């Protein structure tokens, strides 16, 4: 009996019009199978999550790299803009140069710059950035020049306190700071004063920023003050510099 009933039901289902079959199927699939289809979608999402994760990680790495490059470009842009403004203010010609190497040493500290075809650069020319004095050229080799930094034992700059007009010689004696020597004991050099080049040395023009006084004390039985100056230039992060060429 059940066999016959099943057979009859099957035959009825087979001969039903297609529209009715579609209606029945749609109803059953939408209502009866909803938990299963929901689970199917969930599992598909879980399976796809792994590949999506890999793809997103790759995109993150690429975007991070791009972002780092954009930040680098941004800071370069800021530096170059500052240098351009600086160039317009000065009475001499500035030749831009790129730092291409460092020559570290115990007593001597110098960098190598790319002169891009010399362009009138010779020895003993001041090298500056928008922040202040970097050093001076000491050797020209083809399209490059060696720059002796201010933080070199042999580099000395005649300087003046902008505030008190007290003069002295800036030199490096080791450590993080510059020393301003030969400052008379009676001078009023104080912490926070700005030190600029005096123009008396014959190499550096007057008014170029050297640094800021961070220590000023009278020494025991000498005629000179002990003055320490924080350099205006960060010598550890030089990328572009200018060679100062006096206008003819």
Partner 1 sequence: MNKILALKYVIAAAFVVFYHIIIAPRLSIAGVQSDMAIVFTIWIGLNQGSKAGVLFGFAAGLLIGFFTPEDLGWAALILAMLGYGAGNLRNKLVIEPIYVQLIILSVVAFIYNILFIFTTKFGLFFANFPHVLFAAICTTLYCAVVGAVIFYAIRYRYFLRNLF
34 binds partner 1 (CB under 8 A): no
37 binds partner 1 (CB under 8 A): yes
Q: Which residues are CB-neighbours of 26 under 8 A, at least 6 positions away?
A: none
| Residue carrying the six token digits 């730092």 | 99
Residue 17 C-beta: closest distance to partner 1, Å: 11
The stretch near partner 1 (CB under 8 A) out of 37-45, 71-79, 143-151, 220-228 is 37-45
| Token pair listed for 170 | 């800036």
Per CB under 8 A, the list member of 36, 70, 92, 246 interacting with partner 1 is: 36
Q: Around 33, how many Cα atoms within 13 Å sit in the side-chain half-sphere?
A: 10
Q: Which of residues 38-77 bind partner 1 (CB under 8 A)?
A: 39-40, 43
Name which of 22 and 71 has its Cβ closer to partner 1: 22
By rule CB under 8 A, what string of x and - marks binding of each residue 6-25 to partner 1? Answer: xx-xxxxxx-x-x--xx-xx
The answer for 116, left when phi > 0, alpha when psi is -120 to 50, beta otherwise, is left
Name which of 10 and 223 has its Cβ closer to partner 1: 10
Helix (H), strand (E) counts: the chain:
3, 12
Q: What is the largest CA-CA distance in the chain?
A: 128
Q: Are 132 and 209 in contact (CB under 8 A)?
A: yes
Residue ranges that bind partner 1, judged by CB under 8 A = 2-3, 6-7, 9-14, 16, 18, 21-22, 24-26, 28-29, 32-33, 36-37, 39-40, 43
């Amino acid at each position: 009996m059940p066999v016959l009933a099943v057979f009859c039901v099957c035959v009825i289902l087979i001969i039903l019009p297609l529209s009715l079959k579609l209606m029945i199927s749609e109803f059953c699939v939408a209502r009866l199978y909803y938990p299963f289809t929901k689970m199917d979608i969930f599992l598909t999402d879980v399976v796809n999550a792994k590949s999506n994760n890999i793809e997103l990680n790759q995109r993150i790495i690429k975007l991070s790299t791009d972002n780092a490059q954009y930040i680098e470009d941004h800071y370069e842009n800021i530096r170059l803009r500052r240098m351009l403004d600086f160039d317009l203010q000065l009475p001499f010609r500035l030749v831009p140069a790129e730092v291409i190497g460092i020559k570290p040493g115990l007593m001597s500290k110098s960098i190598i710059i790319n002169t891009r075809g010399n362009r009138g650069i010779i020895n003993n020319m001041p090298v500056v950035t928008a922040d202040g004095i970097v050093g001076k050229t000491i050797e020209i080799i083809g399209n490059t020049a060696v720059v002796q930094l201010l933080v070199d034992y042999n580099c000395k700059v005649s300087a003046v306190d902008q505030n008190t007009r007290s003069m002295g010689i800036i030199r490096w004696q080791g450590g993080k700071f510059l020393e301003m020597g030969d400052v008379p004991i009676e001078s009023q050099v104080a912490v926070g004063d700005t030190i600029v080049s005096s123009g008396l040395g014959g190499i550096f023009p007057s008014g170029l920023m050297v640094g800021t006084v961070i220590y000023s004390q009278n020494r025991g039985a000498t005629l000179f003050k002990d003055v320490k100056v924080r350099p205006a230039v960060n010598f550890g992060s030089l990328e572009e510099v200018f060679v100062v060429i006096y206008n003819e």
